[in-house]
């Protein structure tokens, strides 16, 4: 069945460092891909999405490109801030009601 | 600003007590999901509804958990009797199904069973 695999965390960075969180997926057809972020004590919220191959989703300085050839949707940010510390979830929807989530990657950014 | 509303935000109860969590989905959304999040298990799907009909509750312990949607503006998750292992954060999410694929989450109900 469909699945999402994320890199293990935590990812620990200094402020202004470059961030990459890897996400790969297994799915038939052409799923939509999402990144959700969960700040401490809050629910998950949509960070960005891409609905077809080669689309780039972007928001708040974060970017991810839908790569069909490598079945990947890696999250990147050029310069992280302490306020970006959160758990990041990669997810896919393959034309159903449900989102299939990865296990989440915790990001810790230190000043 | 449309949002999913969950109550209570925090609940502390004793083992054996009944617990009911409530969720008001975003108006117009036709799918509603209940998730449970713990440090050990991560995010688990418990149950979901489309147009108020339960479609999948395979993730839910049937003997003590029940989920219902008495109307389009209210979804409930009930635990009876509660046990310490039910301590977790319970999230409700709603969406438009395959139209957009994305879900909107509430802020969660943190349950502690002593």
SS (H, E, C) chain B: CCCCEEECCEEEECCCCCEEEEEECCCCCCEEEEEEEECCCEEEEEEEEECCEEEECCCCCCCCEEEEEEECCEEEEEECCCCHHHCEEEEEEEECHHHCCCEEECCCEEEEEC
Nearest residue of B to residue A32, measured between CA atoms: B101
Question: pLDDT for A20-58, tens place per residue?
Answer: 999 999 998 889 999 999 999 999 999 999 999 999 999
- Residue B66: the pLDDT is 96
Q: Is residue B98 pLDDT above 80, yes or no?
A: no
Residues of chain A with C-beta less than 8 angstroms from the C-beta of B3: none
Query: What pLDDT sits at residue B69?
Result: 96
Contact A46 B104 (CB under 8 A): yes
Is pLDDT at B13 greater than 80 in this prediction?
Answer: yes
Q: Is A82 helix (H, G, I), strand (E, B) or coil?
A: helix
Task: Quote the tokens at residue B38.
Answer: 């713990």
Q: In angstroms, what separates the C-alpha of A45 from chain B's closest C-alpha?
A: 7
Cα A4–Cα A9–Cα A14 angle in degrees, nearest 5? 130
Q: Are A91 and A6 in contact (CB under 8 A)?
A: no
- CA nearest neighbour of B100 among B13, B42, B31, B16: B31
């Amino acid at each position: 069945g469909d699945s999402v695999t994320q890199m293990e965390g935590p990812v620990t960075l200094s402020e202004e460092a470059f961030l990459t969180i890897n996400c790969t997926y297994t799915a038939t057809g052409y799923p939509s891909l999402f990144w959700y972020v969960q700040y401490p004590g809050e629910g998950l919220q949509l960070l960005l999405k891409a609905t077809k191959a080669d689309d780039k989703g972007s928001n708040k300085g974060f970017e991810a490109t839908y790569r069909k050839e490598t079945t990947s949707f890696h999250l990147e940010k050029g310069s992280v801030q302490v306020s970006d510390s959160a758990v990041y979830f990669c997810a896919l929807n393959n034309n159903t009601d449900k989102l299939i989530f990865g296990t989440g990657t915790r990001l810790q950014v230190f000043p | 600003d449309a949002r999913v509303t969950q109550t209570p935000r925090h609940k502390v109860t004793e083992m054996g007590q009944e617990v009911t969590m409530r969720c008001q989905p975003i108006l117009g959304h036709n799918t509603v999901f209940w998730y449970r999040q713990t440090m050990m298990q991560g995010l688990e799907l418990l149950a979901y509804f489309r147009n108020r009909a339960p479609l999948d509750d395979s993730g839910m312990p049937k003997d003590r958990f029940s989920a219902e949607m008495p109307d389009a503006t209210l979804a409930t998750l009930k635990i009876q009797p509660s046990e310490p292992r039910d301590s977790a954060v319970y999230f409700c999410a709603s969406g438009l199904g395959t139209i957009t694929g994305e879900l909107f989450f509430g802020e969660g109900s943190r349950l502690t069973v002593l």
